[in-house]
Amino acid sequence: MPLYEHDAAFSRGLKPGSLIAGLDEAGRGPLAGPVVAAAVILPEGLRIEGVRDSKKVPEAEREALFVKINESASAIGIGIVDADDIDRINILCATRLAMYKAVSAMALKPDILLIDAVTIPALDIRQVPIIKGDAQSASIAAASIIAKVTRDRMMVAYHDKYPEYCFDKHKGYGTKTHLAMLKQHGPCPIHRKSFQKVMSLPLFAG
């Protein structure tokens, strides 16, 4: 489904000029690293060619779109919740917290949030959850790219600190390589100890 040129189609009843923010996250599924959320307000009528669900965008193109979105957006906010807090409050609550932080970090307060599938009870802003929103909403797709690139860069930096896990390759997801390294070395400080795949390997299963 092609992206809307603007997200007003999801925001009926708003006054002209109202600020519409797309909100998405990256990193709910990995076994290591933070969950990162981004909120993006795009200027009305702006269409950035190539913006779509970040999972469908090759890495080099994502990096280029990351720059274009940062140059063009009216406001961007990023929220990060690390592995320790994910373990403490669970991944769904951590995702909502990262989204809350992302919206709170914006220089402009949106009038409405378009969110990929979830809602954030702690935010007193009108919210529209959209299933597969990053495939339908331009601002959610833009947010997905900002979140994904931000998190990937963090995982590459973690590779420098923990090179034995190859975080620069798999970004913390449960690939065969990652599971093999985890089995060999055990979890490092950025692994999510509450995730069953991290602690159910034979090395840790008692």
In this prediction, residues 37-51 reach a mean pLDDT of 89
**114 forms bridges with which residues in the sheet?**
22, 128
Cα 53 to Cα 182: distance, rounded to the nearest angstrom: 30
Structure tokens at 47: 């269409």
Tens digits of residue pLDDT in 125-138 = 999 999 888 888 89
- Token match 């600190």: residue? 161
How much is the pLDDT for 19?
A: 93
Ranges of H-type helices in the chain: 59-72, 83-89, 91-104, 138-161, 167-170, 176-185, 196-199
How much is the pLDDT for 202?
A: 54
Mean predicted lDDT score pLDDT of the chain: 90
C-alpha triplet 168, 57, 34: angle, nearest 5°:
40
Most confident of 12-26, 79-93, 122-136, 192-206: 79-93
Cα 52 to Cα 138: distance, rounded to the nearest angstrom: 7
pLDDT band at 184 (very low <50, low <70, confident <90, very high): very high
Cα 28 to Cα 128: distance, rounded to the nearest angstrom: 20
The dihedral built from the CA positions of residue 77, 81, 82 and 83, taken in this order, carries a sign that is negative
Q: Is 155 left (phi over 0), alpha (psi -120 to 50) or beta?
A: alpha
Which H helix or E strand runs over 148? helix 138-161
More confident residue, 94 or 55: 94
In this prediction, residues 58-67 reach a mean pLDDT of 95
Q: How many CB atoms lie within 10 A of CB 139?
A: 30
Overall residue count recorded for the chain in this entry: 206
Backbone angles phi, psi at 63, to 5 degrees: -60, -40
Structural domains in the chain plus CATH codes: 7-156 (3.30.420.10)
| Confidence (pTM) | 0.91
